[in-house]
Amino acid sequence: MFSFLYNKLYKKIIIVLLALFILLPYTDEVPYPLILDIPKSDEINITEDWKNLKYPCFKVETLSGNWFSDYSGYFSISDYENFRLNPGLYFGNEIKDYTEKEVLIGYDPEPYSLVQPIDKCIKKETKNTKYYEDVFSILGEVDNKTCDAHAPYIQSKCKSSYIVKSSSFSKTGSMTGINPCTIGLFGLFDLNEVGLSIMPLKYFQFFENENDAFNYIWLQERKLI
């Protein structure tokens, strides 16, 4: 009797699990894939425009947040917390001028922009290499539909997009200008005002690891199918 009930219960569990596997692809309530393969570095198809990029091309928020905050203030962005996570929503909307603006006024003013024309950023040298080590790595490719969805107001189509990890490490203990290993979604756009440029569309600094960023992109891509 016990064996009969056990087998019956076991069959019900198997049926429920099979139903879940069948229904998961058809629901928007799926938080993450059950199994997610993150590409290895040698498996990522990196386009020619991205191969020669350098650390300065990928703007992220520093620990102090001063550059980012001043930049948002220049464009009178009211929802700063949303902007610092989803800057792509503001390009072409509040931010219509993609040229550099002067930030840190009253301290040590310098030109700054989240939009980085690649013909300029590849020539920029990282400051204070004696004191800091700045590195970046391309983690994976993102389809253009997902890229465009994260920058809906830009009057230009996304040419290519990647998940990028950008980190800055202090060699001396100073934290000025350091960024906390931010993972972000970056897109390449051809802008009338400044030409081919790298633009941050979404930051994942509050995500625990690379898997969370890829899970997010996986879900967004499924919504656009």
Tokens found for residue 218: 């996986």
pLDDT over 90 (residue 176): no
pLDDT band at 128 (very low <50, low <70, confident <90, very high): low
pLDDT band at 171 (very low <50, low <70, confident <90, very high): confident
Question: What residues have CB less than 8 Å from 195, skipping those under 6 apart?
Answer: 117, 118, 119
Q: Which residue do the tokens 């994976």 mark? A: 140
Residue 164 near residue 179 (C-beta atoms within 8 A)? no
The residues spanned by each domain of the chain are: 49-223
pLDDT band at 193 (very low <50, low <70, confident <90, very high): confident
CA distances from residue 147 to 46, 87, 93, 116, 126 in whole angstroms, order as listed: 16, 12, 16, 17, 27
- Percentage of the chain surpassing pLDDT 90? 48
**Three-class secondary structure of residue 91 per DSSP:** strand
Determine the Cα–Cα distance for residues 66 and 177; give it in Å rounded to an integer. Answer: 9
Instruction: Give the model confidence (pLDDT) of 1-12 as tens digits.
Output: 545 444 554 444
pLDDT over 60 (residue 34): no
Enumerate the H helices of the chain as residue ranges.
2-23, 48-51, 66-74, 80-83, 118-121, 144-149, 210-223
| Listed ranges 15-29, 33-47, 59-73, 186-200; the one with the highest mean pLDDT | 186-200
